[in-house]
Structure 1
Amino acid sequence: MFRNYLKTAFRNLTRNKLFSGLNIIGLATGMACSILIFLWVQDERSYDRFNTNAAHIYRITSHVMDMNMAITPIPMSITAKKEIPAVKMATTIAPLKSTVTIGHQKFDDKNIFYADSNFLRMFNYPVVKGDPATLLTSPDEIVITESAAKKYFGGIGNAMGKVIRLENNAGGVPMTLTVNAILKDIPHNSHLQFDMLLPKQQYDKKRNPSEIWGNFDVYSYLWIDEHADGNPAAIASLEKQVNSMHDRNDNFHIKSTYNLQALPDIHLQPGLFMDVAGGGNKQYVTIFLLVAIFILLIACINFMNLSTAISGQRAKEVGLRKTVGAQRFQLILQFLSESLLLSLVSLVISIGLVILLLPLFNALAAKSISINLLSVKNIGLLLAIAVAVGVISGSYPALFLSSFNPVKVLKGVKYLHGRTNYFRNGLVVLQFSISVILIISTLVVFNQLQYIRHRDIGFNKDNLLYTKVPDAGDFSANFRALKTKLSEQSRITDYTLISHLPTDLQTGQKVTWPGMDQETLFIAPEIWVDENFVRVFGMKLLAGRFFRKDDIADSKNYVVNETALKKFNMDVATAVGKKITVDEREGEIIGIVKDFNFKPIQQTIEPLILRTYDGYANGTAGFIVVKTRTAGIERSMSDVRNILQPIFPEYPFLQGFVDDDLGRLYIAEQRMGKLFNVFSVLSVIISCLGLFGLATFATQKRIKEIGVRKVLGASAAGIVAMLSKDFIKLVAVALIIAFPVSWLVMNKWLDNFAYRISISWWMFLFAGIMAILIAFLSVSYQSVKAALSNPVKSLRSE
């Protein structure tokens, strides 16, 4: 019997070549798009799940004043291990940026962490060389990855026992360490990315034990007892214990609360202050998952519409089968087997498309996704998609066709009316509603990204070239030499020295002010600058003055932004002359600069503290930022390198442009925007395939009517309008549904941005015109063909 079903299915596929082809193309394209999206979603959701302990590990996060932070006080995790029975293990890590010295060669490396000996027990990254039991136990030894071994020593075999010197770091004291272990490269789907691990003993040397509860400086992780894992009530109880533990031990009496964040959730729950770089976005995962489902749904709707549209051609077949004894369930199985066969054929084609398009998709998404077709899990997933699509697509046509009355169909009674037409029209409306929602969403995403790129961010980012300056030698003499040389360059119009780029502020300082609640903690980013900073960056001074050249007294003063004043409960008119304390150092506010964006636009502007160098006698070297002439940007890069090379002959030079760094803040949004555009266009194309098929069927069904109308004098334009109007009406209904839905959905998405566009009426108008135009073009080919055909051919049989 099953063999008969297959033979019949193949026969029907070949008999209706056009409709079978449209169905296969639509389903294959829809499946390929959905598989690519599912692979991306799977990758985003896989972060840290490779860790065999992932279900037991939680990160402590802190809430202080109105800041949600990924960092905690230094003793947080180790004290939790001592005082909370449910904590089986605890570990602490802290980031470090440093110049890596190997022999006489120097490299800049940002991917370094201090870690204690529990870190590699909790995060079981594979050890390639070395004794796992002794890692991070000695203060003079260092652990590196395979990539670091190849980069610094030419290979894994050469790295063990070699010496690495770390200089130009936040602690200020050079460290000399010996490589005693090599880790396998950190998986791309780990929220922690590093090349080196330093023993935490080195970090502890630089901290005052009496102040460690006041230092929010580290990431704290707990390994929780299995009985509490995933149990919301147990986790809530643990959070209470963590907060009580902090209150008992905190000698700074800071008002703060703490929560536990499951390890697998960290990647998709970004937005915490001072979090590790590279987080994902849970909302994007949800959006693209919905897009994948919508695309599959559109492809399934095509199948259902085309199958029911041509069902009249199979009415007599159903009547004959029922007459010779076929039961309804047998007919249902037959039609479902046809849809499953078509779905499996589409799956095979879609897999080929996925393999072909995966490199391009990876380039667009900045991923390294692969698909293992030999994996039992993947085979099962692909077959499940094919079966689900086949059953969903074929269920209504199977039920509809199997319901035909054999007596009526053999007498020639038509079944294509009434409920079937309403159902099919409803599916077309649903299909185009989804397409219009995607079109409007694409317009909103594109315009929001354009707004991000071109919004006034409060400073001039154009033609600003930065170069990393090593913190080495005589700081004052080096910078004065730099200033002299830079002043001689005709292509450089201005320059400034700053400790941190505004786009890369990952640290902050404790700030207090008169009248502040002493049980609260406020942390604000801080930049050391010189007197040229405001002029070079084109910032606006709202009150007071900026730092003066060679004014030693100014080293005790501060310039702050508007947002900082609001936190201090001060206003622009009266703030100048008021006292604040930054990192236990009291000073006077001498100026207020207008707010400017130095963080992603999803976040509101943060408070910022500016301080100046003490006559360049001390301070933190960071970057020389030069303003160049537009015509000489490339030559300016070479000029700066040539100036720095004699002063710092042993150090590497990191150069870049401020506007490029700002662009990188929104690179995730730009990637998602491109992917969204691609899949939206493909969904519209799939919808058009279905509409083209329906128009073809509708034209064939009315071919004799068209012939009669032409004989009676109907114009070609009138016939095209007659054949198109029904479809245009359906698209109009789809617009009525899609407009409010898309407005609600995209407003919710825009609410994630602190600075956003308003959804304009023209977006709906444009989407409506596009939808009607696309629908008209989809049906016009067959309509025009029918309108221009010779009526004699269609009426010959009459």
Structure 2
Amino acid sequence: MLSNYLKIAIRNLSRNKLFSVLNIIGLSTGIACSALIYLWVTDEINFDKFHKNTDRIFRITAQINEVKAALVPIPLAMAVKASEPDVDLATRVVSLEAMVTVGAKKYEDKHILYADSNFLKVFTFPMLAGEQINLTKPGEVLLTEAGARKYFGDPQYAIGKMLHVDNDYSGNDLMVAGILTNVPSNSHLQFDMLLPIQLYEKTMNQAQAWGNYDVFTYLLLNGHFNRSAKELSALEKRIMSIHKKEDITNTKATLSLQSLSDIHLHPGLMLDVEGIGNREHVNIFSLVAIFILLIACINFMNLSTALSGGRAKEVGLRKAIGAERYQLIFQFLTETMILVLVALLIGLFLAFVLLPVFNQLTGKSISMHLITFRFLCTLVIGAIGIGILAGSYPAFALSSFLPVKVLKGAKAMSNKGSLFRSSLIVTQFSIAIILMIGTIVVYRQLSFIQNRDIGYNKNDLVYVPIPKLGNLVQHNQSLRAALSEKLDMDNVTIVSHLPTDLTTGTQSVYWDGKDPQFRPLFSRMWVDYNVMKTFKMTLKSGRFFRKDDIADENNYVVNETALKVLNVDANSAIGKKLTIDNRTGEIVGVLNDFNFKAIQQPIQPLFMHNASSGDFNGNSGYVVVRTPISNVENVKAELQVAFNKTFGDYPFTMGFINQDLEHLYYSEQRMGKLFNIFSVLSILVSCLGLFGLTAYATQQRIREIGIRKVLGASVVSIVGMLSKDLLLLVVIAILVSFPIAGWVMHQWLSNFVFHVSLDWWIYAMAGFIAVFVAFITMSFQSIKAARSNPIQSLKTEG
């Protein structure tokens, strides 16, 4: 019996090849897209959950004025551990870049952590080789397997070997004491090397520096501690009391606890680690996955219910020769289940094949092992549900008809069935239009980010990092002299920081009338006299530093935002005295604001120090050159000659300011690409369904078309007759989707301090595209039917 049902089902599906293929393509595409997005979402929400004590680990964050930061003072961790019985362990982490020397080879490493001795007790990073050490010996270092391979080739060979680490603060000879397994890609802390934090404390001399916010601090709470919102809030208040008691600088900071599993998906904290994700992006793509799958399911259900209407006489004949109703129901369900299961298998296969491409787009290294048994069960159950939903309406509706009425030509499908299909089409196109509007808005915002006036000309700027070796002032002067032999120095500047890597701190700053309790967050930049010209910045008032002007040595240039902190206007700021780190000078100029953070964040106050002498207050600095792209290779060669002349065989690297700025918006660019791809796919899947429905509607009315042509109807009038009902549904979908899309995109744009507006033409364009694409899709079948031979049409069985 079952084999008979399967044979009949396969025969019916092959009889309607076009519609069967459309159904399978649409549903398998939806399943593949949803599976890929599921993998991405799973990877994002599982960040840092591999640690044994994930639920007990919290990070302390700080808010000073309106600015939230991921860093806190160095002494806070130990003070909290000493005073709080609910805290089992407290560990501090500092992330730095360094130059690593192994024998004659030098490596630039951007993934180095300084950490407390209990770091490996708080976090779960297993040992691969060597002894479990507690980072208590300043002369020992731990490498990951990847780090050991990079420096020594064989991780086992690395144990006991020596290497030298130079950062901006010191140089240390260290022995490799152990090898850790590679850090999982879904860890917010990424490192190749782990050093004792005592090295950082010693070189910075900041063991009691309560006023400097420069370390990540993690707490491992007691296993018996009730981690309810109420108890965590009470613990936060106790930590703030400890801070207030110990901090002699009286910084008014609000301290909060952030659970480890929340770190990755909660951006917006200044000075946080790189690669932080975004909860909103996860939510958006979760909805996109649901939307695409929903569109695919609607397609499937629409085509299945429409096709079943043409099988009324078949059902009548089966009932006339004795078929029971349950047998007919089972037959219809079997056919739809075959299609669904085939689509499911093809969809999963497509996801597997496309995963490497998807990884390239997302910048991840996701594998199919993230597809859990639970997810597969959910997918199979969902597929069965889709099959039952798609097959149940025609199965129950058709099997209920009396065979005599059906064989005499009674209407097979009721008006309720047509209404049901119409509502599905409206839902389908509403979702597609929402995604279309989202695509336009995301594209505009990304274009705005890339082309917005950021306060200086980001193009044609290359830079070379200056190593922190020997006498920095002497090296900077020597480098400038070497460069002046080959380059136009009007387009060359040496600065302590790039605009893309400025940090924010609460260092001591004083001016007349300042509230002693007020400790603003601000950024500092040591620059020479030529930075404004090289970067093409503009002045709001006053002047910039002058070359060889000794009187300018202690003076300052500030940005517009700093005026709000100083509570003065641009003109009255000129001549105002500032004291920063016991260095008193006058404000000689006010620069127009320029962005040195991602535009999701407001511009911070900036104080520029005159460092034309080459003294960057201990910072190594960068050489920045403005040059056309066509001349980059020549400039690179001259820079390398001057660099090698000054620093010997120290590794030479060069970067581009505009590329660094693009990196700030990597997450948004990635989101934009994915959004574009999935939006286009959703529209294509919708069009597949519309194409199928138009083809079916045309088949059902083929005799009517023939009669109309015999009576003189034109091709245009027939196309209009066949298209108007479906186009009306698309128009209804437009009206439904506009307010929903507007609200969703307004919420997304609110994450940016600077953003585009939701102009009326965005909606008009999306609506026009929807109508145009729908009309083109329907016209293909309609025109074909309208131009057919009416004699052949009239011979078709009605």
Please report the TM-score for the alignment, with normalisation by the length of structure 1: 0.95
- Counterpart for residue 597 of structure 2: 599
Equivalent residue letter for 1:224: L
User: Is this contact kept in 2: 1:599–1:605, CA < 8 A?
Assistant: yes
By how many angstroms is 1:523 displaced?
2.4
Q: 1:184 aligns with which of 181, 184, 187?
A: 181
Bigger mean CA offset, 569-578 vs 279-288: 569-578
**Alignment CA distance shift 1:636-1:374 (3 Å):** closer
- Counterpart for residue 673 of structure 2: 674
By how many angstroms is 1:410 displaced?
4.5
Match of 1:192, SS? coil
d(CA) in 1 for partners of 2:407, 2:225: 68
**Alignment CA distance shift 1:396-1:571 (3 Å):** farther
User: Is this contact kept in 1: 2:69–2:272, CA < 8 A?
Assistant: yes
d(CA) in 2 for partners of 1:576, 1:399: 84
d(CA) in 2 for partners of 1:679, 1:248: 54
User: Is this contact kept in 2: 1:302–1:687, CA < 8 A?
Assistant: yes
**Alignment CA distance shift 1:393-1:589 (3 Å):** farther
User: Is this contact kept in 1: 2:534–2:626, CA < 8 A?
Assistant: yes
Q: 1:534 aligns with which of 514, 532, 535?
A: 532
**Alignment CA distance shift 1:239-1:490 (3 Å):** closer
- Counterpart for residue 564 of structure 1: 562
Equivalent residue letter for 1:34: S
d(CA) in 2 for partners of 1:9, 1:347: 18
1:434 is aligned to 2:431 = yes
By how many angstroms is 1:730 displaced?
1.2
Equivalent residue letter for 1:635: N
User: Is this contact kept in 1: 2:37–2:285, CA < 8 A?
Assistant: yes
Q: How does 1:500-649 map to 2 (within 5 A)?
A: 500-514=497-511, 515-613=513-611, 615-616=613-614, 619=617, 620-649=619-648
- Counterpart for residue 721 of structure 1: 720
**Alignment CA distance shift 1:209-1:147 (3 Å):** closer
**1:242-300, CA deviations, whole angstroms, 9 ceiling, x for partnerless residues?**
22332333333222221111111111101101111110111111111111111111111
**Alignment CA distance shift 1:529-1:509 (3 Å):** farther
By how many angstroms is 1:681 displaced?
0.7
Bigger mean CA offset, 198-207 vs 25-34: 198-207
**1:479-508, CA deviations, whole angstroms, 9 ceiling, x for partnerless residues?**
233223322325775101111111012453
**Alignment CA distance shift 1:224-1:194 (3 Å):** same
User: Is this contact kept in 1: 2:490–2:530, CA < 8 A?
Assistant: no
Q: How does 1:313-712 map to 2 (within 5 A)?
A: 313-319=310-316, 332=329, 334-372=331-369, 376-377=373-374, 379-404=376-401, 408-489=405-486, 494-514=491-511, 515-613=513-611, 615-616=613-614, 619=617, 620-712=619-711
**Alignment CA distance shift 1:374-1:554 (3 Å):** closer
**Alignment CA distance shift 1:376-1:731 (3 Å):** closer
Equivalent residue letter for 2:743: L
d(CA) in 1 for partners of 2:407, 2:228: 64
User: Is this contact kept in 2: 1:98–1:110, CA < 8 A?
Assistant: yes
- Counterpart for residue 787 of structure 1: 786
Q: 1:246 aligns with which of 243, 255, 271?
A: 243
d(CA) in 1 for partners of 2:421, 2:549: 80
Equivalent residue letter for 1:792: I
- Counterpart for residue 69 of structure 1: 69
**1:739-765, CA deviations, whole angstroms, 9 ceiling, x for partnerless residues?**
222222112211111111112222222
User: Is this contact kept in 2: 1:493–1:626, CA < 8 A?
Assistant: no
d(CA) in 1 for partners of 2:400, 2:241: 69
- Counterpart for residue 175 of structure 1: 172
By how many angstroms is 1:73 displaced?
1.8
User: Is this contact kept in 1: 2:39–2:371, CA < 8 A?
Assistant: no
User: Is this contact kept in 1: 2:118–2:134, CA < 8 A?
Assistant: no
- Counterpart for residue 286 of structure 1: 283
**Alignment CA distance shift 1:750-1:397 (3 Å):** farther
d(CA) in 1 for partners of 2:394, 2:503: 59
**1:457-498, CA deviations, whole angstroms, 9 ceiling, x for partnerless residues?**
100112111011112233333323322332232577510111
**Alignment CA distance shift 1:388-1:484 (3 Å):** farther
- Counterpart for residue 739 of structure 1: 738
- Counterpart for residue 229 of structure 2: 232
By how many angstroms is 1:382 displaced?
4.0
User: Is this contact kept in 1: 2:129–2:156, CA < 8 A?
Assistant: no
d(CA) in 2 for partners of 1:618, 1:721: 75
Give RMSD over aligned pairs. 2.4
By how many angstroms is 1:439 displaced?
1.4
Match of 1:556, SS? coil
1:203 is aligned to 2:200 = yes
Equivalent residue letter for 2:10: F
Equivalent residue letter for 1:545: R
User: Is this contact kept in 2: 1:88–1:223, CA < 8 A?
Assistant: yes
Bigger mean CA offset, 31-40 vs 250-259: 250-259
- Counterpart for residue 86 of structure 2: 86
Equivalent residue letter for 1:341: I
Match of 2:655, SS? strand
User: Is this contact kept in 1: 2:50–2:124, CA < 8 A?
Assistant: no
Give the paired residue count.
795
Match of 2:301, SS? helix
Bigger mean CA offset, 642-651 vs 614-623: 614-623
d(CA) in 1 for partners of 2:380, 2:519: 55
d(CA) in 1 for partners of 2:679, 2:320: 47
Equivalent residue letter for 2:632: I
**Alignment CA distance shift 1:581-1:66 (3 Å):** farther
d(CA) in 2 for partners of 1:140, 1:103: 17
d(CA) in 1 for partners of 2:200, 2:632: 40
Equivalent residue letter for 1:185: N
**Alignment CA distance shift 1:711-1:243 (3 Å):** same
- Counterpart for residue 115 of structure 1: 115
By how many angstroms is 1:80 displaced?
2.2
d(CA) in 2 for partners of 1:666, 1:636: 28
Bigger mean CA offset, 681-690 vs 157-166: 157-166
User: Is this contact kept in 2: 1:372–1:378, CA < 8 A?
Assistant: no
d(CA) in 2 for partners of 1:737, 1:599: 38
d(CA) in 2 for partners of 1:325, 1:227: 70
Equivalent residue letter for 2:694: A
Gapped runs of 5+ residues in structure 2? Answer: none
Q: 2:253 aligns with which of 256, 272, 288?
A: 256
Match of 2:346, SS? helix
Equivalent residue letter for 1:124: T
By how many angstroms is 1:772 displaced?
1.2
d(CA) in 2 for partners of 1:251, 1:446: 49
Equivalent residue letter for 1:274: L
d(CA) in 1 for partners of 2:322, 2:610: 95
d(CA) in 2 for partners of 1:563, 1:174: 37
Equivalent residue letter for 1:647: T
Equivalent residue letter for 1:198: L
Bigger mean CA offset, 69-78 vs 549-558: 549-558
d(CA) in 2 for partners of 1:402, 1:518: 85
By how many angstroms is 1:29 displaced?
0.8
Match of 1:461, SS? coil
User: Is this contact kept in 1: 2:305–2:390, CA < 8 A?
Assistant: no
Match of 1:473, SS? coil
Bigger mean CA offset, 752-761 vs 271-280: 752-761
**1:383-441, CA deviations, whole angstroms, 9 ceiling, x for partnerless residues?**
34433443454454445445545564354321324211111111111111111111111
Match of 2:558, SS? strand
d(CA) in 1 for partners of 2:517, 2:403: 84
Gapped runs of 5+ residues in structure 1? Answer: none
